[in-house]
Amino acid sequence: MITEPRHFGEFILKEIDGFSRADRLVTGGLYPVGTVLGEVTETKELIALNPTAEDGSQKATAILMGMVDARTDPQKTVVLEQLTVVRKVALEWPDDITDEQKQTALAELKEKFIIAR
């Protein structure tokens, strides 16, 4: 059986054209479509959400639109930063995230008007 990879932005239910997306630097890994991201305070670069970190990446701030390979160098890519409704089941989370941490992250996204349904 062949499994097709997820497509750019397939998790979006509704967005505000011209306002929801931004070009940002993402670093630190190979990330699939829909990865929930945090922002490292010192560099302002985005990285996969890490609820136990203390560098800023513990707070959910954006969602990755397409797959990106930023394992060796930061990559400029498109993320959702505000004014969007997304499919909750299509978001990518850290493997070890707890339900409480996920709820906290969803509340942080909601503060940016990113609503997960």
**pLDDT per residue over 36-89, tens digit each?**
999 999 999 999 999 999 999 999 999 999 999 999 999 999 999 999 999 999
CATH value at residue 85: 2.40.300.10
CB contact at 8 A, 31 and 70: yes
**pLDDT per residue over 4-40, tens digit each?**
677 777 888 999 988 899 999 999 999 999 999 999 9
The domain in which residue 79 lies consists of: 12-116
Kindly report the pTM of this predicted structure: 0.93
82 is a domain residue: yes
Amino acid (1-letter code) at residue 46: L
Number of domains in the chain: 1
2 is a domain residue: no
**pLDDT per residue over 89-101, tens digit each?**
999 999 999 999 9
1 is a domain residue: no
* Burial group, residue 113, by CB count within 10 angstroms (0-12, 13-18, 19+): middle
CB contact at 8 A, 48 and 31: yes
